[in-house]
């Protein structure tokens, strides 16, 4: 059993294959955190904690004569609020009498076989794993608020999941003002924080900074997980590298407003609180009602590579639900950068024919296919094919594309509406707009209020009709603006603070209904590129368009940062035209192919304008990717360069699960005159096996992993190289 209770000491112990997590129910009934890290066995870690008089740190009333005992210096599993712990708190609420205090103490616990579910939200599920659940119930008997803490222990995968259920156990209404998913204490040690910031077209830029005293806040209030701050953070020892050192990864499975607070307090203890962003959040809990928080995926490892591998495994096998999660992803072409809004059947058919000729498997028709959609000012909400652009209708176009041996996919943005649309004219109250206030506009569109059941049903019925009527096997689901003027015309004023979260509860239910009704459709997520690249969306979309920036050199950093938490198979990555449409950069086709192969592979350019030589090279790229895809998506991924080297080159490696094959890739970002040779040490090979290196020579895996490999000098504009490393004996 991976969960044990030691009644004599009040210890609750969670164990995975290589980690231990300990908490303790003390004599006062507080649930203390004791340890999370490398596996310890039976050892009780309470010896680490000594009590001191902390001066102005207050004491619970029944310990008022013991100045050594203070919530303000105690490591806790989930904090009380308003009663003497002045650090960042896990929860906040207002009672009917105006009180904003609650002091949670242990009530009971239970240990269950299998994995708990999270009603209404995405969650990590049991996929024939050895999983056990711990539920610890805490209660404040004055405020009559109960908190149930859920822990899911994935023993073989070295992952622990966490969520909290907040219950109104009284007879009066309670208003939640903050409801975090997790509090994790690291009472000892110095830590660096690695987070993934960015902007549109430059998502998930890794940044590593040492913690300093105070509160570090990473958050999104944009109504989506956002381009700016991904809901994933790593804390690591300052000496941690890819291969060695303590590190902790925390990922919130949520696509809306989120917040992570990391406090280095007055006593050099670190606290991490993660969950829904409490800004503008207010949830009414009537008697007997409960609120469930989004789930957190938690792991600790020795080195950043091992940590990434654990997140890659759990997401690929236990988060993604699509039948495509472990199967071949079709190589696709998207017409957006080839035509933009200026599309017609003749152009699309010509592009599709070229795509079929070089081995593409799926054609995706992007924005502009529906009526009144000649630019971004009109049409959203009215998902009716434009018969002027498509005189034979959408079904006629699909028949021609299918006749070429290609599958067909379609772009939609179902959560949005233009003012110039039949839908808005009929239902202006379906859009999120604040009363008596001109709304903020973005991309000339408004957001439909998905918290409303009538809007939910409209979108479900509209998409269901498209997927039923037409032979569509892929949907690119876009979301091109943040939420502002958040107001539901169907909700009472006191409940407007619930609208954003109810929006996402409805969105997840919509995705769940559609993916179950149309299980053979591959859904790809998109939000102006990577604005909703999170584990919540990956429950339903096995791949997400990584960024609207298709420049290969920009993508190196974006995909590098994404790889710390998310599997390679989830990263939508395409070869695009030059000069690149976002940066104007000229990059060799070989390099664009090398970078795009670090993901779900495809193309985004006008093939009709390319030479026969370029088409032949693409034909070879597609053939090569199809051969390598099982290793790229199912194997282990290694970052062989750091951000320090990125000013010169990026290098990375894939290794097949059976260690029989590896692919080593490099892109030189800044060829230097009279430069030192680029030398890398490979990872993950069988040290005793003999490998052929690009057919040029043979050597032991140990030699490649310890002695390394020196690349030949690569010159020119952004040169690249791929090496096949194949086990021969």
- Tell me which residues are annotated as active site: 534, 614
Residues paired with 475 in a beta bridge? 410, 523
Phi and psi dihedrals of 424, rounded to 5?
-65, -40
Residue 99 · residue 140 · CB < 8 Å: no
- CA nearest 172: which of 281, 285, 60, 282? 285
State whether the Cα torsion 487-491-495-501 is positive or negative: negative
636 vs 326, 630, 656, CA distance in Å? 14, 11, 7
547 vs 117, 278, 536, 604, CA distance in Å? 31, 28, 18, 13
Residue 563 · residue 530 · CB < 8 Å: no
How far is the C-alpha of 673 from the C-alpha of 678, rounded, in Å? 13
* SS3 label, residue 511: helix
Residue 34 · residue 188 · CB < 8 Å: no
- CA nearest 130: which of 15, 213, 43? 15
Residue 476 · residue 526 · CB < 8 Å: yes
How far is the C-alpha of 104 from the C-alpha of 81, rounded, in Å? 9
Question: What's the CA angle centered on 165, arms 164 and 166, to 5 degrees?
Answer: 115
- CA nearest 79: which of 277, 261, 210, 212? 261
Regarding beta strands 543-545 and 571-576, do their DSSP bridges make them parallel or antiparallel, or are they unpaired?
parallel
How far is the C-alpha of 150 from the C-alpha of 117, rounded, in Å? 10
> How does DSSP assign 409-425, residue by residue?
EEEE-TTEE-SBSHHHH
With tokens 């999170």, the residue in question is: 534
53 DSSP assignment = -
Residue 652 · residue 641 · CB < 8 Å: yes
173 DSSP assignment = -
Question: What's the CA angle centered on 172, arms 167 and 178, to 5 degrees?
Answer: 45
174 vs 80, 286, 329, 336, CA distance in Å? 15, 6, 48, 49
Question: What's the CA angle centered on 632, arms 630 and 637, to 5 degrees?
Answer: 135
How far is the C-alpha of 284 from the C-alpha of 320, rounded, in Å? 32
Say how many residues make up the chain.
729
Burial of residue 440 (CB within 10 Å: 0-12, 13-18, 19+) is middle
How far is the C-alpha of 686 from the C-alpha of 704, rounded, in Å? 10
- CA nearest 593: which of 564, 634, 632, 535? 632
């Amino acid at each position: 059993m991976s969960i044990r209770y030691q009644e004599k000491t009040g210890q609750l112990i969670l164990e995975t294959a290589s980690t231990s997590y300990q908490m303790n129910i003390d004599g006062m009934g507080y649930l203390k955190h004791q340890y999370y890290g490398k596996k310890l066995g039976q050892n009780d870690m309470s010896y680490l904690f000594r009590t001191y008089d902390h001066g102005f740190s207050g004491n619970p009333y029944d310990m008022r004569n013991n100045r050594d005992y203070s919530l303000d210096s105690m490591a806790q599993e989930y904090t009380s609020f308003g009663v003497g712990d002045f650090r960042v708190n896990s929860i906040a609420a207002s009672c009917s009498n105006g009180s904003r205090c609650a002091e949670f103490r242990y009530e009971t616990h239970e240990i269950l076989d299998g994995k708990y579910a999270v009603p209404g939200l995405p969650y990590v599920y049991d996929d024939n794993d050895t999983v056990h659940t711990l539920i610890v119930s805490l209660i404040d008997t004055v405020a009559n608020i109960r908190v149930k803490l859920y822990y899911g222990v994935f023993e073989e995968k070295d992952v622990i999941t966490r969520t909290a259920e907040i219950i109104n156990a009284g007879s009066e209404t309670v208003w939640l003002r903050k409801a975090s998913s997790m509090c994790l204490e690291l009472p000892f040690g110095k830590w660096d924080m690695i987070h993934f910031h960015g902007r549109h077209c430059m998502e998930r830029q890794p940044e590593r900074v040492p913690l300093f005293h105070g509160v570090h806040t990473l958050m999104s209030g944009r109504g989506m997980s956002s381009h700016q701050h991904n809901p994933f953070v790593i804390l690591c020892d300052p000496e941690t590298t890819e291969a060695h050192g303590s590190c902790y990864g925390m990922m919130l499975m949520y696509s809306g407003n989120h917040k992570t607070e990391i406090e280095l307090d007055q006593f050099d203890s670190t606290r991490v609180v993660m969950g829904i962003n409490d800004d503008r959040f207010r949830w009414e809990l009537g008697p007997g009602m409960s609120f469930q928080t989004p789930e957190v995926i938690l792991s600790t490892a020795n080195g950043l590579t091992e940590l990434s591998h654990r997140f890659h495994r759990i997401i690929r096998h236990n988060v993604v639900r699509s039948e495509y999660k472990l199967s071949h992803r079709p190589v696709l072409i998207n017409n957006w950068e080839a035509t933009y809004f200026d599309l017609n059947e003749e152009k699309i058919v010509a592009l599709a024919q070229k795509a079929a000729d070089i081995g593409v498997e799926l054609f995706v028709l992007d924005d502009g296919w529906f009526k009144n959609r000649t630019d971004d000012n009109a049409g959203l909400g009215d998902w009716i094919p434009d018969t002027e652009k498509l005189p034979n209708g959408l079904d006629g176009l699909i028949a021609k594309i299918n006749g070429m041996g290609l599958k067909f996919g379609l772009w939609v943005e179902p959560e949005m509406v233009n003012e110039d649309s039949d839908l808005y004219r009929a239902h202006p109250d379906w859009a999120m707009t604040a009363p008596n206030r001109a709304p903020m506009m973005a991309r000339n569109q408004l957001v439909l209020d998905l918290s409303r059941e009538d809007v939910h049903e409209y979108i479900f019925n509209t998409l269901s009709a498209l997927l039923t009527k037409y032979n569509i096997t892929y949907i690119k689901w876009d979301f091109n603006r943040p939420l502002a003027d958040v107001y539901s015309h169907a909700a009472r004023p006191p409940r407007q603070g619930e609208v954003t979260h109810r929006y996402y509860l409805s969105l997840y239910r919509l995705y769940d209904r559609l993916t179950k009704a149309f299980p053979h459709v591959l859904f790809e997520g998109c939000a102006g590129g990577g604005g909703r690249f999170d584990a919540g969306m990956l429950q339903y979309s096995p791949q997400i368009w990584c960024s609207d920036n298709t420049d290969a050199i920009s993508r190196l950093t974006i995909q590098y940062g994404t790889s710390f938490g998310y599997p390679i198979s989830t990263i939508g990555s395409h070869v695009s035209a030059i000069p690149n449409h976002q940066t104007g950069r000229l990059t060799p086709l070989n390099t664009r192919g090398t970078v795009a192969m670090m993901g779900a592979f495809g193309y985004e350019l006008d093939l009709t304008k390319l030479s026969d030589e370029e088409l032949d090279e693409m034909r070879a790229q597609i053939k090569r990717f199809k051969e390598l895809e099982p290793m790229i998506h199912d194997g282990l991924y290694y970052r062989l360069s750091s951000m320090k080297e990125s000013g010169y080159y990026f290098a990375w490696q894939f290794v097949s699960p059976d260690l029989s094959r590896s692919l080593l890739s490099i892109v030189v970002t800044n060829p230097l005159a009279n430069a030192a040779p680029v030398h890398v040490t490979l990872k993950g090979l069988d040290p005793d096996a003999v490998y052929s290196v690009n057919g040029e020579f043979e050597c032991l895996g140990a030699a490649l992993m310890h002695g390394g490999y020196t690349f030949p000098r690569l010159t020119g504009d952004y040169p690249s190289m791929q090496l096949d490393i194949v086990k021969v004996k």
